[in-house]
C-alpha cells in the first residue's frame, strides 16, 4: 500500500475518534514502534539508493502529515474533555448515579440482627409454611383453644393428601420448637421472618407482616433479665432514652406472659395522637417460656428456663419513621421505598 | 368489656382513689383499661379482660377482688359473705321439674331453682341504672336480675316460665342434649334459627326451648303474665359453646363467658345471691325445688411452689411472707409445708381454672407485686459466639451490592392468582385473585414496574423472598418445597439494550460470591421453563448456569409495550451452596503482557460466546484474557458479523517475544479458520 493511501486511511480513522483511548490506539498504529511509519522505514533497506532517496522524502512528508494530524485530533479530543481556558460551571447538575434503597423493614431487621448479634444471639430463619403442630399444638395451643381464633389462619389446600395439616405460620413462634428439638440449651436466638393471618386489612392490619421472635434459654434467666435485654435493644433502635413497661398479658406458650409498652417516642410520654394520649406504645408480647413448650421440645423443663418475645418489625418501622399505613410496606411503590 | 366504677365500689372501698388511678393500676397489674368515660356521677371503664381470665373476670366482683389484692385492701363484701345466703326450701303447689342431661360431657353441672308465685314487674331504679351504665337494657325484674348476677359474679343465668314449659311437656321434662341437623328454635330476639348438629339445646315436649349457654327460646320467655319460674345457673362446656356460637354466627354476653369454661361451683353463689336480691325487690320468695345435676364436684387444686424457683423466674428476692401475703390476697389458701420453709403448698380457688402449675402462681405473684418493681438486669451468662448463619449473611451481601448498584428493595405479597399442579393452593384464600402461593418472584416485580411507570421512567427493583412448589412423593403424598429466591428487574429509558446491563449486574453479583464459571445459555428447554413463558419473552431469555448447575434465569419481561424491562431470578440456596468463600492470593505478574487484536468475520447467527469459547480452547496457556471491543454487522459485510477482540498474552516465567506471540496467534487463528470463520487482517 502506498503511503498516501495509508495517510488517507489515517485521516478517515482520525475523524471517527471518540476518546483519548482510541486516539492512543491510532497513534500506536501509525507512529508506534511497530506502526506503519516504522514499517515503511524498515522497508527502506530493501530498496536501491535511488529509490531509497525518493521514498525517504515521501516518508518524511508522511511523518509530518501524520504528526500534525494526530496533534490536531489530540487537541480536539482534549478540548472536549478538559476545561482548558473555557468557562467552567461547577453549579451544573451532577451526573445522575442511580441510588438504591433498602426496604424499611429490612433496615430494622438488619439493626436488630446487629444489636442482638452483639449480645450473642444467633439469627435463625425457618419455614414460612409449617405444620399445624408446630404453629399451634407444640406451643400449648390445642385444637379447641380460643387463642386460635385470635390468629385466623391461612390453611393450605389438599391437606388430606399430606401426613399433617399445613398452614402459613401465624407467628414466628412456630420456629421455637423445631429449633429446640435440634439444639441443646443454653441458647439465645432471634427468628426474623414473614407471618400470615387471615384478616381484613386496614391502615394498621395486613394479612402478611414481618415479625421478629426472640428466645433465650439458660439456667437462671428471669423477667429482670428480659427487661435488661429489651431496654438496651430499644434504646439502640430508637437512639434515645426509652422507657419500657410490662403489663400482664396472655399467650398460651408463655407463663408468666406480658405485653410490653414503650414510652411514646413522639411525645416522650406526655400524650399525643400517636400514643392515643396514653403516653405509651404497644410494642410486643413476651413471657417466660411455658413448661409445656419445653416439654414439646423434649427439654427437661425443671432445669431450663428463659424468655421469648415476638414483635412486628413493621410496627417498629412505623413508629420510627412515622409511617401511617402498614400497607405501604408491601406496595412496591418507589415513592415510598426511595425514602429509606 | 364495660365496668361501672360505682358498681365496683359496692365491694371495695375506693374513697380517695380516682377512676383514672384505678384504670392505671388495673392496666399494670391485671388487664388493660382501654378507656375511662364519665357517665353522670359514675365512670365507665372499658377493660380488656385477658382470654385466660375470661372464665372468672368478666364480672364486677372479680375486678374488685383484683383491686383489693393490688391495693392490699380487704374487700367490703367477700365471696364467703355472698354465699352465706342459705336457700330455704318451701313446700309448694308446683309439681317438680325432671331434668335429663343426655350429654354429661357438655354439662358439668345443671343447677336451677323452681320459684313459685313471683311478681314480674319493672326493675327498681338502682338495677336499671347499673345495667344501663354498662350498655344493657332493662326488660323486667326477673330478666334484669339474671343479667345483673352475671355482671356481678360472672355466672350466666336464665329464667324459664314454668307454666309455659308445663304446657309443652305435661310430664315437666327438660332434656339437655346436643342438637340434630335441621332442628329449629325461635330465640328471645325473635330470630328463627335453624340448627346444625352439635349445638347444646334444652328441649321440653319435643320442642326446643333454649340454646344452652347462648340464648333462651321465645316459647318459654318470662313475660308480665309469668307467675312461676325456673331460675337456671348452670355450667356448660366451653369449647362446645364456642363451637356453637361459630356454627350459629351468633354470640351473646353469656356465651362470651361460657366459652372460656366456668367454675361449676359458681352456681351456688349465683343462686344464693339471686334469692337474696329477689327478696329485696319483691318480698318473700318461695323456692319449691332445687335442681342440681352435678356428677363430679370440682375441688380446689393443690400446687407446690418452690420459693427459690419463683424468685429465680421473676428475678427478685421476695420473702416467704410477701409471697404468702400476695397469694392470700387473691383468695389462694396457703398450707403449711414441711420443706423447711423452701416451698409452700397452695390451694387455688376453684374459680381460678387458669392456675394449674407453679408458673401460674409465679405470674400471680409477679403481677400483683408489680413488674414495674422488678429491676432490669442483664443476664450473667457464659460468653459464646452466635452461630454463623451463612444464608442470612449472603442475603445481606446481595442486598448491599444491589442497593449500591441502584436497585430498590421491595417486598411483595406471596399470594398469586396463577394456579398449576405444582403451585400450593390455599384452602381459604382471602380473595379470588390470591388463590395460590407464588412459585417465583418475577411476576410481582413486573407488576411493581407497571405500577411505578406513572412516576418513574428508570426503575430498578429487587426482592428476596420465599417461593413454593409441591410434588408427589413415592407414597403419593404431597411434599412442599419452600425456597429462598432472589429476583431483580430493571427498566431503563435511555434506548440501550438493557439485557446486557442486567447481565453485567448478575455477573458481578455472582462473581462477588467467588464463583467464576458462570455462563448464560439459551433457555429453550420447555419442560423446566414452562411457567417462565408467562413472564419472559423466550426470544431473549437465558439460563444462568454455574458449570452444569442451573442457578436461575435472566431475560426480557413480557408485556412491556414501548419500553424494555428485563429481569433475573436466582435460586439463593444454589448460590449459597456454590459460593467459594476461601480465596488465595495470586502473585502479581512479574513480566509484561502483550496485546494483539484479532478481527473475525462470521455468519450472522454466530454467537460471541462460541467465538470466545473457541479462542479459549486453542490451548494457549499464555492467553490470559480476551475482550470483545467491537461488534459490527452491516450491509457492506454481506450481513456478516465483524467481531474484534483484544487478546492479552502473558507468561509468569518470562517476557514474551514478538515471535512467541506470533506463534500463539497463528495457533488461535488456525483454530478459528477451521471453524469456517474468516480472519480480517
Instruction: Quote ipTM for the complex.
Output: 0.89
Question: According to CATH, where is 3.50.40.10 located in chain B?
Answer: 98-293
Clarify whether residues A131 and A206 are in a common domain: yes
pLDDT at B530: 57
Place of cell 478538559: A82
Structural domain containing residue A301? 104-337
Chain B residues whose CB is inside 8 A of the A98 CB are: 405-406, 458, 460
Strand residue runs (E) in B400-559: 408-409, 415-416, 436-437, 459-472, 478-491, 518-522, 536-546, 549-557
The closest of B55, B7, B4, B111 to B256, measured between CA atoms, is: B55
Chain A residues whose CB is inside 8 A of the B403 CB are: 100-102
Alpha-carbon gap, residue B593 to B586, rounded angstroms: 16
pLDDT of B605 above 70 = yes
The domain that holds A190 is classified in CATH as 3.30.930.10
Most B CBs within 10 Å: which of A157, A183, A253, as the mutation test of the B interface?
Answer: A157
Which of A128, A220, A225 is closest, CB to CB, to B378? Answer: A225
- Residue A223 to residue B314, Cβ atoms within 8 A: yes
Nearest residue in chain B measured CA to CA from A246? B371
- Residue B52 to residue A250, Cβ atoms within 8 A: yes
**Residue A49: which pLDDT band, with cuts at 50, 70 and 90?**
confident
Chain B residues whose CB is inside 8 A of the A156 CB are: 424-427, 480
The closest of B66, B50, B49 to B12, measured between CA atoms, is: B66
- Over residues B371-402, the pLDDT tens digits come to 999 999 999 988 889 988 988 999 999 999 99
Å between B173 CA and nearest CA of chain A: 32
Nearest residue in chain A measured CA to CA from B237? A144
Percentage, residues of chain A above pLDDT 70: 97
- Residue A228 to residue B376, Cβ atoms within 8 A: yes
B28: Cβ contacts below 8 Å, ≥ 6 apart:
A245, A247, B370, B371, B372
The torsion defined by the Cα of B69, B71, B77 and B78, in degrees rounded to 10, comes to 10
Clarify whether residues A109 and A236 are in a common domain: yes
- Over residues B571-582, the pLDDT tens digits come to 999 999 998 878
The cell for B661 is 506471540
Residue B664 backbone phi and psi in degrees, to 5: -60, -45
- Residue A247 to residue B371, Cβ atoms within 8 A: yes
Does domain B98-293 match CATH 2.60.290.11?
no
Nearest residue in chain A measured CA to CA from B375? A224
pLDDT at B558: 85
Place of cell 408491601: A330
**CATH code at B390-578:** 3.30.930.10
Please state, in angstroms and as integers, the Cα–Cα distance from residue A133 to each residue in A178, A216, B90, B361, B502, following that order.
10, 22, 55, 28, 43
Clarify whether residues A199 and A327 are in a common domain: yes
Does domain B301-371 match CATH 3.30.56.10?
yes
Place of cell 409498652: A261
Chain B residues whose CB is inside 8 A of the A129 CB are: 424, 437, 468, 480, 482
Residue A280 lies in a domain: yes
Most A CBs within 10 Å: which of B241, B311, B381, B422, as the mutation test of the A interface?
Answer: B381
- Over residues B184-196, the pLDDT tens digits come to 999 999 999 999 9
Residue A122 lies in a domain: yes
pLDDT at A187: 93
Clarify whether residues A147 and A221 are in a common domain: yes
Which of A106, A150, A335 is closest, CB to CB, to B399? Answer: A106
Alpha-carbon gap, residue B570 to A80, rounded angstroms: 43
Please state, in angstroms and as integers, the Cα–Cα distance from residue B63 to each residue in A258, B68, B323, following that order.
19, 9, 21
Kind plus residue range of the DSSP H or E element containing A193: strand A187-196
- Burial of B144 per CB tally in 10 Å (0-12, 13-18, 19+): buried
Question: According to CATH, where is 3.30.70.380 located in chain B?
Answer: 594-680
* 3-class state of residue B569 by DSSP: strand
Residues B497, B538: contact at Cβ < 8 Å?
no
Alpha-carbon gap, residue B468 to A132, rounded angstroms: 18
Q: How many domains in chain A?
A: 2
- Over residues B292-306, the pLDDT tens digits come to 999 999 999 999 999
pLDDT at A41: 84
Which of B357, B378, B426 is closest, CB to CB, to A155? Answer: B426
Residue A92 lies in a domain: no
- Residue B424 to residue A129, Cβ atoms within 8 A: yes
| Exposure string for B200-211, b = 16+ CB within 10 A, e = fewer | bbbbbbeebbbb
Provide mean pLDDT across the span B20-27: 96
Place of cell 434503597: A101
- Over residues B637-651, the pLDDT tens digits come to 777 888 899 999 999
pLDDT of B78 above 70 = no
Å between B274 CA and nearest CA of chain A: 30
Å between A123 CA and nearest CA of chain B: 6
pLDDT at A112: 97
Between B104 and B523, residue with greater pLDDT: B104
**Residue A1: which pLDDT band, with cuts at 50, 70 and 90?**
low
CA triple A201-B448-B466, angle to 5 deg: 70
Clarify whether residues A71 and A108 are in a common domain: no
Question: According to CATH, where is 3.30.56.10 located in chain B?
Answer: 2-77, 301-371
Chain A residues whose CB is inside 8 A of the B424 CB are: 129, 156-157
Clarify whether residues A135 and A62 are in a common domain: no
Between B47 and B585, residue with greater pLDDT: B47
- Residue B367 to residue A256, Cβ atoms within 8 A: yes
Which of A103, A146, A290 is closest, CB to CB, to B51? Answer: A146
The cell for B556 is 426480557
The residue out of A81, A115, A136 marking a domain boundary is: A81
* 3-class state of residue B643 by DSSP: strand
- Over residues A279-302, the pLDDT tens digits come to 999 999 999 999 999 999 998 767
Alpha-carbon gap, residue B374 to B376, rounded angstroms: 7
pLDDT of B83 above 80 = no
Å between B505 CA and nearest CA of chain A: 13
Top-level class of domain B2-77: alpha beta
Provide mean pLDDT across the span B541-559: 90
**Residue B522: which pLDDT band, with cuts at 50, 70 and 90?**
confident
SS (H, E, C) B586-612: CCCCCCCCEEEEEEEEECCCCCHHHHH
Clarify whether residues A128 and A239 are in a common domain: yes
Most A CBs within 10 Å: which of B399, B411, B572, as the mutation test of the A interface?
Answer: B411
Top-level class of domain B594-680: alpha beta
Alpha-carbon gap, residue B268 to B113, rounded angstroms: 11
pLDDT of A80 above 90 = no
Residues B153, B266: contact at Cβ < 8 Å?
yes
Clarify whether residues A29 and A139 are in a common domain: no
The torsion defined by the Cα of B323, B328, B333 and B334, in degrees rounded to 10, comes to 30
Residues B293, B111: contact at Cβ < 8 Å?
yes
Amino acid at each position: 500500500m502506498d503511503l498516501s493511501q495509508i495517510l488517507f486511511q489515517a485521516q478517515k480513522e482520525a475523524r471517527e475518534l471518540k476518546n483519548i483511548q482510541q486516539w492512543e490506539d491510532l497513534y500506536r498504529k501509525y507512529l508506534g514502534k511497530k506502526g506503519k511509519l516504522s514499517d515503511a522505514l524498515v522497508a527502506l533497506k530493501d530498496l536501491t539508493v535511488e529509490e531509497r532517496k525518493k521514498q525517504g522524502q515521501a516518508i518524511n512528508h508522511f511523518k509530518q502529515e501524520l504528526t500534525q494530524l494526530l496533534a490536531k485530533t489530540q487537541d480536539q479530543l482534549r478540548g472536549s474533555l478538559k476545561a482548558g481556558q473555557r468557562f467552567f460551571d461547577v453549579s451544573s447538575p451532577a451526573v445522575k448515579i442511580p441510588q438504591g434503597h433498602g426496604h424499611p423493614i429490612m433496615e430494622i431487621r438488619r439493626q436488630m440482627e446487629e444489636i442482638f448479634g452483639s449480645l450473642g444471639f444467633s439469627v435463625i430463619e425457618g419455614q414460612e409454611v409449617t405444620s399445624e403442630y408446630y404453629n399451634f399444638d407444640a406451643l400449648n395451643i390445642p385444637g379447641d383453644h380460643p387463642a386460635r381464633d385470635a390468629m385466623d389462619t391461612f390453611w393450605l389446600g389438599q391437606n388430606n393428601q399430606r401426613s399433617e395439616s399445613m398452614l402459613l405460620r401465624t407467628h414466628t413462634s412456630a420456629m421455637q420448637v423445631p429449633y429446640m428439638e435440634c439444639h441443646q440449651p443454653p441458647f439465645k436466638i432471634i427468628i426474623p421472618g414473614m407471618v400470615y393471618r387471615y384478616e381484613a386489612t386496614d391502615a394498621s392490619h395486613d394479612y402478611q407482616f414481618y415479625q421478629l421472635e426472640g428466645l433465650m434459654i439458660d439456667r437462671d434467666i428471669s423477667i429482670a433479665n428480659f427487661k435488661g435485654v429489651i431496654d438496651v435493644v430499644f434504646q439502640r433502635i430508637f437512639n434515645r432514652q426509652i422507657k419500657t413497661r410490662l403489663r400482664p398479658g396472655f399467650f398460651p406458650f408463655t407463663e408468666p406472659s406480658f405485653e410490653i409498652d414503650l414510652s411514646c417516642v413522639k411525645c416522650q410520654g406526655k400524650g399525643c395522637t400517636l400514643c392515643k394520649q396514653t403516653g405509651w406504645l404497644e410494642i410486643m408480647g413476651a413471657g417466660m417460656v411455658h413448661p409445656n413448650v419445653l416439654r414439646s421440645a423434649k427439654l427437661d423443663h425443671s432445669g431450663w428456663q428463659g424468655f421469648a418475645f415476638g414483635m412486628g418489625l413493621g410496627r417498629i418501622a412505623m413508629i420510627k419513621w412515622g409511617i401511617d399505613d402498614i400497607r405501604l410496606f408491601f406496595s412496591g411503590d418507589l415513592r415510598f421505598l426511595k425514602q429509606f | 368489656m364495660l365496668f361501672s366504677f360505682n358498681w365496683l365500689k359496692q365491694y371495695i372501698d375506693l374513697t380517695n382513689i380516682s377512676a383514672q388511678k384505678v384504670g392505671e393500676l388495673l392496666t399494670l397489674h391485671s388487664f388493660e383499661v382501654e378507656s375511662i368515660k364519665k357517665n353522670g356521677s359514675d365512670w365507665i371503664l372499658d377493660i380488656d379482660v385477658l382470654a385466660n381470665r375470661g372464665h372468672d373476670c368478666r364480672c364486677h366482683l372479680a375486678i374488685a377482688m383484683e383491686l383489693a389484692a393490688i391495693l392490699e385492701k380487704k374487700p367490703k363484701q367477700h365471696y364467703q359473705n355472698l354465699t352465706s345466703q342459705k336457700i330455704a326450701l318451701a313446700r309448694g303447689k308446683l309439681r317438680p321439674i325432671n331434668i335429663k342431661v343426655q350429654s354429661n360431657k357438655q354439662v358439668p353441672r345443671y343447677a336451677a331453682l323452681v320459684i313459685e308465685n313471683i311478681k314480674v314487674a319493672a326493675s327498681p331504679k338502682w338495677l336499671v341504672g347499673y345495667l344501663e351504665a354498662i350498655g344493657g337494657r332493662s326488660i323486667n325484674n326477673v330478666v334484669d336480675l339474671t343479667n345483673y348476677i352475671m355482671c356481678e359474679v360472672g355466672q350466666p343465668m336464665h329464667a324459664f316460665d314454668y307454666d309455659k314449659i308445663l304446657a309443652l311437656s305435661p310430664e315437666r321434662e327438660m332434656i339437655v342434649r346436643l342438637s340434630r341437623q335441621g332442628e329449629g328454635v325461635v330465640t328471645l330476639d325473635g330470630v328463627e334459627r335453624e340448627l346444625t348438629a352439635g349445638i347444646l339445646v334444652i328441649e321440653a315436649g319435643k320442642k326446643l326451648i333454649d340454646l344452652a349457654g347462648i340464648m333462651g327460646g321465645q316459647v318459654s320467655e318470662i313475660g308480665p303474665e309469668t307467675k312461676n319460674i325456673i331460675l337456671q345457673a348452670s355450667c356448660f362446656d366451653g369449647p362446645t359453646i364456642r363451637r356453637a356460637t361459630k356454627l350459629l354466627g351468633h354470640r351473646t354476653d353469656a356465651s362470651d363467658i361460657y366459652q372460656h369454661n366456668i367454675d361449676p361451683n359458681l352456681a351456688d353463689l349465683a343462686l344464693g345471691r339471686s334469692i337474696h336480691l329477689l327478696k329485696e325487690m319483691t318480698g318473700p320468695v318461695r323456692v319449691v325445688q332445687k335442681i342440681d345435676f352435678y356428677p363430679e364436684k370440682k375441688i380446689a387444686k393443690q400446687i407446690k411452689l418452690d420459693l427459690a424457683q419463683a424468685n429465680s423466674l421473676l428475678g427478685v428476692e421476695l420473702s416467704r411472707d410477701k409471697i404468702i401475703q400476695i397469694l392470700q390476697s387473691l383468695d389462694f389458701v396457703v398450707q403449711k409445708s414441711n420443706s423447711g420453709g423452701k416451698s409452700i403448698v397452695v390451694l387455688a380457688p376453684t374459680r381460678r381454672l387458669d392456675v394449674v402449675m407453679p408458673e401460674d402462681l409465679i405470674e400471680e405473684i409477679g403481677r400483683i407485686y408489680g413488674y414495674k418493681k422488678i429491676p432490669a438486669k442483664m443476664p450473667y451468662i457464659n460468653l459464646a459466639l452466635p452461630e454463623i448463619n451463612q444464608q442470612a449473611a449472603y442475603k445481606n451481601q446481595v442486598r448491599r451490592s444491589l442497593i449500591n448498584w441502584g436497585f430498590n428493595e421491595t417486598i411483595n405479597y406471596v399470594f398469586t392468582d396463577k394456579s398449576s399442579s405444582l403451585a400450593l393452593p390455599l384452602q381459604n384464600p382471602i380473595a379470588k385473585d390470591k388463590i395460590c402461593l407464588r412459585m417465583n418472584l418475577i411476576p410481582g416485580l413486573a407488576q411493581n414496574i407497571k405500577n411505578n411507570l406513572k412516576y418513574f421512567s428508570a426503575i430498578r427493583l429487587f426482592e428476596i423472598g420465599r417461593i413454593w412448589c409441591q410434588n408427589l412423593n413415592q407414597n403419593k403424598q404431597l411434599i412442599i418445597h419452600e425456597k429462598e429466591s432472589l429476583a431483580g428487574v430493571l427498566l431503563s429509558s435511555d434506548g440501550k439494550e438493557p439485557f446486557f446491563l442486567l447481565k453485567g449486574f448478575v455477573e458481578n453479583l455472582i462473581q462477588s460470591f467467588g464463583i467464576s464459571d458462570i455462563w448464560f445459555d439459551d433457555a429453550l428447554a420447555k419442560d423446566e421453563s414452562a411457567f417462565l413463558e408467562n413472564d419472559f419473552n423466550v426470544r431473549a431469555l437465558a439460563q444462568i448456569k454455574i458449570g452444569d448447575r442451573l442457578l436461575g434465569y435472566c431475560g426480557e419481561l413480557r408485556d412491556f409495550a414501548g419500553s424494555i424491562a428485563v429481569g433475573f431470578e436466582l435460586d439463593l440456596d444454589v448460590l449459597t451452596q456454590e459460593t467459594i468463600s476461601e480465596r488465595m492470593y495470586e502473585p502479581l505478574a512479574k513480566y509484561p503482557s502483550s496485546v494483539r487484536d484479532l478481527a473475525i468475520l462470521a455468519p450472522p447467527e454466530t454467537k460471541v460466546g462460541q467465538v470466545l469459547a473457541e479462542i479459549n480452547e486453542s490451548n494457549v496457556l499464555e492467553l490470559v484474557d480476551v475482550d470483545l471491543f467491537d461488534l459490527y454487522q452491516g450491509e457492506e459485510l454481506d450481513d456478516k458479523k465483524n467481531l474484534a477482540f483484544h487478546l492479552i498474552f502473558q507468561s509468569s516465567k518470562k517476557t514474551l517475544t514478538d515471535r512467541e506471540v506470533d506463534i500463539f496467534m497463528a495457533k488461535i487463528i488456525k483454530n478459528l479458520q477451521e471453524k469456517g470463520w474468516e480472519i480480517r487482517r
